[in-house]
Amino acid sequence: MHGDFLQKNPTNRIVVAAALMSPTGKVLLQRCPSGHPHAGLWEFPGGKVEKDETLETALIRELWEELGITIAARDLEPLVFSSDRDQRTSERSPYVILLYTCRFWDGEPRPLEGQEIAWFDRSTMDSLAMPPLDIPLAHKLNETR
């Protein structure tokens, strides 16, 4: 019984991501480089939470590695999450993506991992190619002031 439960409910993989918001309300997205499973798609900066990290320390680390910016945990505001709803259609472990907004950071974001970065009006995000789990995140962000 317990074994069955675990088999049908595999461990979730937690991904933390940030919507960096400019003073004019634009959001920074990054386009995955070729060779990446999401090549060509626009994503929020972030990544998987590693063992022994809190959600916020993982996100702070990812934003430093990917964009070279420094963020304080107090400036990360949880906004919304998105998860794989139907495991029967998926070969992979379920992902949960937790999106934070962030309006304050130190440094100028630079694409340090071969990705492309750009600032978008939230109302135009609907027309971008994004991974499936990002679409509800972008909708929620568009409703946010």
Binding site for ligand 8DG (CB under 6 A): 15, 17, 38, 43-44, 46-48, 95, 97, 131, 133-134
DSSP H/E element including 98 = strand 95-102
Q: Which is nearer to ligand 8DG, 3 or 37 (CB)?
A: 37
Taking the complex as a whole, the smallest distance from the CB of residue 19 to ligand 8DG amounts, in Å, to: 9
Q: Which is nearer to ligand 8DG, 5 or 71 (CB)?
A: 71
Taking the complex as a whole, the smallest distance from the CB of residue 97 to ligand 8DG amounts, in Å, to: 5
Taking the complex as a whole, the smallest distance from the CB of residue 73 to ligand 8DG amounts, in Å, to: 18
**Quick count: other Cβ atoms within 10 Å of Cβ 50?**
11
The phi, psi pair for 30, rounded to 5°, reads -130, 145
Taking the complex as a whole, the smallest distance from the CB of residue 99 to ligand 8DG amounts, in Å, to: 8
27-31 β-sheet, strand order: 42-43, 27-31, 116-120
d(CA 92, CA 102): 30
Residue 126 token pair? 């609907």
Taking the complex as a whole, the smallest distance from the CB of residue 11 to ligand 8DG amounts, in Å, to: 14
Q: Which is nearer to ligand 8DG, 43 or 56 (CB)?
A: 43
**Quick count: other Cβ atoms within 10 Å of Cβ 111?**
16
Widest CA span in the chain:
54
Q: Which is nearer to ligand 8DG, 39 or 73 (CB)?
A: 39
Q: Which is nearer to ligand 8DG, 61 or 75 (CB)?
A: 61
